[in-house]
Amino acid sequence: MAYKSVKGTKDLLPQDTVAWQHVERVIREVMDLYRYAEIRTPMFEETAVFARGIGEETDVVGKEMYTFTDKGGSSLTLRPEMTASVIRSFIQHSMGEQTSLNKLYYIGPMFRQERPQAGRFRQFHQYGFESIGQQGPECDAEIIAIAAAIYDRLGISYSLKLNSVGDPTCRPRYREALQEFLRGVFDQLSPESQRRTETNPMRVLDSKDERDREATAGAPLIVDYLSEESRVHFERTRALLDALGIAYELDPRLVRGLDYYTMTAFEFVSTDLGSQDALGGGGRYDGLVEQLGGKYTPAVGFAAGIERLLMVMEKNGYEFPVSTPTVYIVGMDDASRSWAFQTAIALRRKGIAAEIDYAGRSLKAQMREANKLSCPYVAIVGESELEAGQAQVKDMRKGTQESVEFTRLADYFIQDIAN
């Protein structure tokens, strides 16, 4: 029986990883510019980290986690997202005591047992960044600016939705008002939203179900309930985004749905995706560090899916840079093949990408291969070249050919790379 990769997971083959590496490179370049440092945490954690960190009432924790008991009887979970892990690590290593602002980023696989469909996988990949330690709206605006910068560099068009979800001083009052409203339209709500009316009423507002949308058309909105502090923070964040020329659309129904979220909530969506149109999202989560057992520490962050980003890029016909060797070394007989093998390794040791034939193919077949790889140079060596200590180097772009002494070969290509 032939084995296959598990449902909802995918092999990334060499033709795929070219695009992945490009995207990862761009993310790392932007993170360097904004001075965020990479953090890598384990792929699994104690289940409680996510249950407490994400919230029992969320779909992710309630329905989608890969949780198992190990041989020692501990309940462990494959990470469904990174923020909870990052904060667990932040607390464990007392990172807040070393500096007043920790700017961290990550790239890696996440695991959720969702129904696989276009844009939804069980192992998928996220990149994200967290600014931990400061309350100022500059941190919120910076996180949004970074997300936008990465999309811009990758040629992805998006729209940005922005909202404030308030803070612990104003949200209880809003929650009560919303709950009262929802109880009044209870019969018109979907079963899921009926349940959430009691457990997580704010999530009813971002339900995609038409029934819920109609029933909640006149629902009270958080913007009308914001505390003075939240209102000022929202205004200042917006002013900073305006000054940066980052366009956004206010969406009073956008909620991130978790108790620890405070103030800024945002989401990037793409019109190039189908029903799963969310590219990524984030917000401020001033309550999370405390929730996970640390000292009160304000923070704001963003997380986005790499598969969705690639789907948009492929749809737009984005041309990913392909890697080509500088030179293909062609050996015509046994002795020159052996020379080609050693020379390829010598060139690689000097930083020049070289390719050779490993299958004993004819001169013609080797030339065809060099062409297929789009090598700018082909170095050809046979019996007489070996004797003379010179290779015939063909410039494939110009169509010219010259003899180059073996001892000069590396410099010849190094110069070409430098030009």
Query: In this complex, which beta carbon is closest to ligand AMP, that of residue 229 or of residue 307?
Result: 307
Residue nearest to ligand AMP (CB): 305
**Is 100 buried (19+), middle (13-18) or exposed (0-12) by CB count in 10 A?**
exposed
Q: Which of 182, 303, 327, 381 binds ligand AMP (CB under 6 A)?
A: 303
Task: Tell me: does residue 304 bind ligand AMP (CB under 6 A).
Answer: yes
Q: Kindly state the smallest distance separating residue 324's Cβ from ligand AMP, in Å.
A: 31
CB of 6 to ligand AMP, least distance (A): 14
175: amino acid identity, one letter: R
- d(CA 419, CA 415) in angstroms, rounded, equals 6
Closest CB 293 distance from ligand AMP, rounded Å:
22
**305 sits near ligand AMP (criterion: CB under 6 A):** yes
Long-range (24+ apart) CB contacts under 8 A made by 210-217 are 214/188, 215/185, 215/188, 215/189, 216/181, 216/182, 216/185
The DSSP-derived string for 323-378 is P--SEEEEE-SHHHHHHHHHHHHHHHHTT--EEE-SS---HHHHHHHHHHTT-SEE
Over the window 98 to 137, marking each residue x when it contacts ligand AMP by CB under 6 A and - when it does not, the resulting string is --------------x-x----xxx--x-x-----------
Task: Pull the structure tokens for residue 398.
Answer: 């110009």
Q: Least distance from C-beta 70 to ligand AMP, angstroms?
A: 24
CB of 233 to ligand AMP, least distance (A): 22
When the beta carbons of 107 and 327 are compared against ligand AMP, the nearer one is 107
**Among the candidate windows 187-195, 243-251, 298-306, 384-392, which touches ligand AMP by CB under 6 A?**
298-306
83 vs 237, beta carbon nearer ligand AMP: 83
Q: Give whichever of 125 and 337 is closer to ligand AMP, judged by the CB atom.
A: 125
Give the pairing type, strands 102-111 and 123-132: antiparallel
Check binding of 233 to ligand AMP (CB under 6 A).
Answer: no
Which residue in the set 307, 367, 404, 416 belongs to the binding site for ligand AMP (CB under 6 A)? Answer: 307
Q: Is residue 162 within 8 Å of 223, Cβ to Cβ? A: no
Q: In the complex, what is the shortest distance from the CB of residue 383 to ligand AMP, in angstroms, rounded to a whole number?
A: 57
Minimum CB distance to ligand AMP, residue 81 (Å) = 5
Is 251 or 355 the residue whose CB approaches ligand AMP more closely? Answer: 251
Instruction: State the minimum distance, in angstroms, from the CB of residue 256 to ligand AMP.
Output: 8
Q: Using only the alpha carbons of the chain, give its radius of gyration.
A: 28
Residue closer to ligand AMP (CB basis): 96 or 280: 280
The contact mask relative to ligand AMP for 260-289 (x = CB under 6 A, - = no) is: ------------------xxxx--------
Phi/psi class of residue 26: alpha, beta or left (left: φ > 0; alpha: ψ in -120 to 50)? alpha
Closer CB to ligand AMP, residue 120 or residue 236?
120
CA distance 242 to 152: 17
Task: Specify the residue, 121 or 174, whose C-beta has the smaller distance to ligand AMP.
Answer: 121
Please tell me the count of residues contacting ligand AMP according to CB under 6 A: 17
Point out which span in 28-36, 139-147, 149-157, 299-307 binds ligand AMP (CB under 6 A). Answer: 299-307
Q: Which of residues 141-170 bind ligand AMP (CB under 6 A)?
A: none
Q: Are 277 and 270 in contact (CB under 8 A)?
A: yes
Going from the C-alpha of 135 to that of each of 37, 101, 278, 299, 377, the distances in angstroms are 20, 10, 26, 7, 56
Structure tokens at 123: 């192992």
Give the Cβ contact number of residue 379 at 10 Å.
27
Cβ at position 266, least distance to ligand AMP in Å = 11
Q: How many other CB atoms sit within 10 Å of the CB of residue 243? A: 9
Residue 203 or 394: the one with the smaller Cβ distance to ligand AMP is: 203
Applying CB under 6 A, which part among 140-148, 301-309, 375-383, 402-410 lies near ligand AMP? 301-309
Q: Centre a 10 Å sphere on the Cβ of residue 140 and count the other Cβ atoms it contains.
A: 30
Nearest-angstrom CA–CA distance, 3 and 57: 36
Residues with Cβ within 8 Å of 94's Cβ and at least 6 positions away in sequence, in order, are none
CB-hemisphere CA count at 13 Å for 297? 25
- Cβ 126 to ligand AMP, closest distance in Å? 5
Minimum CB–partner distance for residue 219 and ligand AMP (Å): 23
**Chain residues that interact with ligand AMP, rule: CB under 6 A:** 81, 112, 114, 119-121, 124, 126, 278-281, 303-305, 307-308
